[in-house]
Homo-oligomer: A and B are copies of this chain.
Amino acid sequence: MILQTLYIIAIVSESITGTLAAGRHKMDLFGVLLIALVTAIGGGTIRDIVLNMHPMTWVKHPEYVLMLCFCSMLTTKIPYFFASLSRLFLMLDAIGLIAFSIIGVNKAIEHEFGFIVCVISGVITGISGGIARDILCNKIPLVFQKELYASVSIVACVLYYCLYFYTPLNADVSVILTLIFGFSFRMIAVKFKLSLPVFIYEDSKKDIDKDSKK
């Protein structure tokens, strides 16, 4: 029940941020709509394809797709209103990231996958919508360069899995604890601009140089 509510909040806020992202690339309304949908439900779609968990959520609940289209079109009418709420969206996005991660772990647990696959399932749900959005916009995915974004997802997945299996807490309490912890972690990372170290490798070898020029 909590998760269901968080899921709706998450996909709505992702569709709004996806719409704003598309607007920076001068796309037509259909392009905007597609980017919004991919950002919001692309992560779950990729997870369900990779782990073969059919039918996927939006196929069972196609009304969500309509709702997201409506939110996206509304955003194109009043983009500056939504942009002025960027602080709010930063928070909603953090909540969405954790909610997606927990939902991904949960769905993998239901299908009786082990620890590693459950964590991968959560992380795919959390971050691959954003990766697909950036590929469609022809950019290097932002998630590889943003403050502890994927890391927050990984930590939330591991924490939730452990609370679920190794404590007597009921599911709702586990969700809330994971949410509080993950949200604080993400907010602290944004506030202090924490990020993972960047791995830079430069090579002067001729054959590799030739590649990178292309």
Q: What is the interface of chain A, defined by CB distance below 8 A to chain B?
A: 19-20, 22-32, 34, 45, 49-52, 54-56, 59, 62-63, 65-66, 76, 79, 83, 86, 113-117, 120, 131, 135-145, 150-151, 154, 195-203, 205, 207-208, 211-212, 214
Q: How many copies does the complex hold?
A: 3
Are the CB atoms of B55 and A203 closer together than 8 Å?
no
Distance in Å: Cβ of A197 to nearest Cβ of chain B: 6
Q: List 17 A-B contacts (CB under 8 A).
A: A22-B199, A23-B201, A24-B202, A26-B198, A28-B145, A29-B198, A30-B196, A31-B143, A45-B50, A52-B54, A59-B117, A62-B120, A63-B116, A65-B120, A66-B116, A83-B205, A137-B140
What's the Cα separation between A142 and B213 when bound, in Å? Answer: 11
Kindly list chain B residues whose C-beta atoms are within 8 Å of the C-beta of A208. Answer: 24, 86
For chain A, what secondary structure do more than half of its interface residues adopt (helix, strand, loop), or is it mixed? Answer: helix
Q: Contacts of A31 on B, CB cut-off 8 Å?
A: 141, 143-145
Q: Which residues of B contact A199 (CB under 8 A)?
A: 19, 22-23, 26-29, 32, 76, 79
Residues in B neighbouring A211, C-beta threshold 8 A: 142
Contact B50 A52 (CB under 8 A): no
Q: How far is the CB of A76 from chain B (nearest CB, A)?
A: 5
Q: A205 near B86 (CB under 8 angstroms)?
A: yes
Are A196 and B29 neighbours in the complex by a CB distance under 8 Å? yes
